[in-house]
Amino acid sequence: MQQGLFESHIESLPLIHRGKVRDLYAMGQDHLLIVTTDRLSAFDVVMPRAIPGKGLVLSELTAFWMQRFESRIPNHFAGADLDLARYLRPDELAQCAGRGVAVRKLRALPVEAVARGYLIGSGWKDYQATGAVCGVALPTGLPLAGKLPEPIFTPAFKAPKGEHDANISFAEVERLVGPQVAAQVRDITLSLYREASDYAATRGIIIADTKFEFGLDEHGRLHLIDEVLTPDSSRFWPAAGYRPGISPPSFDKQYVRDYLETLDWNKTAPGPQLPDDVVEKTSEKYREAQRLLIG
């Protein structure tokens, strides 16, 4: 089996951050090189083995959606004039094939902009406990994985490294970024979610929920950044297998999560080694999501 790219090694540019999945390098003052690796995190812990091809899938899906939304919201792509070949050695350029992009360095908002159309995950837990999700009141009696009457905006605070993101209310978003930007983030999040859901429905996929990130440029203009509508940032369900009341299988890390649940592992770093078949099946799941959505 192929190894996949666990970590990029680029010496020609200063490394400024290794996220759970992406390595960020400075390209001068105003730009970043983002390399989407094949790292996989589960329960917020990075697994020690890469999932071959995962970073390529995330990169291609993100580029697809960012271009599709371009007339609605600007994105962080720097464009073709920032030629990576001028900055990198050939071996470094090779690491970037299909996964390295030059982007504008923007002021990232400390908010994960989540849109939900279905009751699952932390939303379901919140609903069971409070009858609401992130303070958004919902009708009683909705089942697990049930479709919501309307998609809802359920933001989270982007936690510093090593901490879990925490759901917050809209009022807290207003305090963090100001009421104007908060309203803009909410409206565009819901509108992009609707548009993507309509598109995905034509491909037999339900987008149960998704997370966007936004950044501001020097003029305070809102831009779409990071990753967009990938299996890491979204729950994709095959529409054919969907039934309210059961947790649908999805195109994400379910194989890994299911495997991890069989272990006596306390969900803190370091993560356990994943067996070959789990790595292979997960890699195939990512490629399948790409094929079904944009293939």
Ligand X SMILES: Nc1ncnc2c1ncn2[C@@H]1O[C@H](COP(=O)(O)OP(=O)(O)O)[C@@H](O)[C@H]1O
> Which residues of this protein are in contact with ligand X, per CB under 6 A?
19-22, 24, 32, 76, 103-106, 108, 213, 215, 225-226
Question: Residues 141-174, buried b or exposed e (16+ Cβ, 10 A)?
Answer: ebeebbebeebbbbbbbbeeeeeebebbebebbe
Helix ranges, 90-140 (H): 90-96, 122-130
Where do the DSSP E strands lie in 8-83?
A: 15-18, 22-27, 31-36, 41-42, 45-46
Closer residue to ligand X in complex, CB, 5/225? 225
Closest approach, Cβ 72 to ligand X, in A, equals 17
Closer residue to ligand X in complex, CB, 138/224? 224
Closer residue to ligand X in complex, CB, 19/74? 19
Closest approach, Cβ 238 to ligand X, in A, equals 26
Q: Point out which residues pair with 15 in neighbouring strands.
A: 25
The CA distance from 209 to 163, in Å, is 22
Closest approach, Cβ 215 to ligand X, in A, equals 5
Closest approach, Cβ 101 to ligand X, in A, equals 9
Closer residue to ligand X in complex, CB, 25/193? 25
- Helix (H) / strand (E) containing 205: strand 205-216
The CA distance from 260 to 126, in Å, is 24
Closer residue to ligand X in complex, CB, 106/260? 106
Closest approach, Cβ 225 to ligand X, in A, equals 4
The CA distance from 166 to 155, in Å, is 9
Closest approach, Cβ 162 to ligand X, in A, equals 10
**Cβ pair 17, 24 in contact under 8 A:** yes
The residue assigned the tokens 């759901």 is: 167
Closer residue to ligand X in complex, CB, 34/138? 34
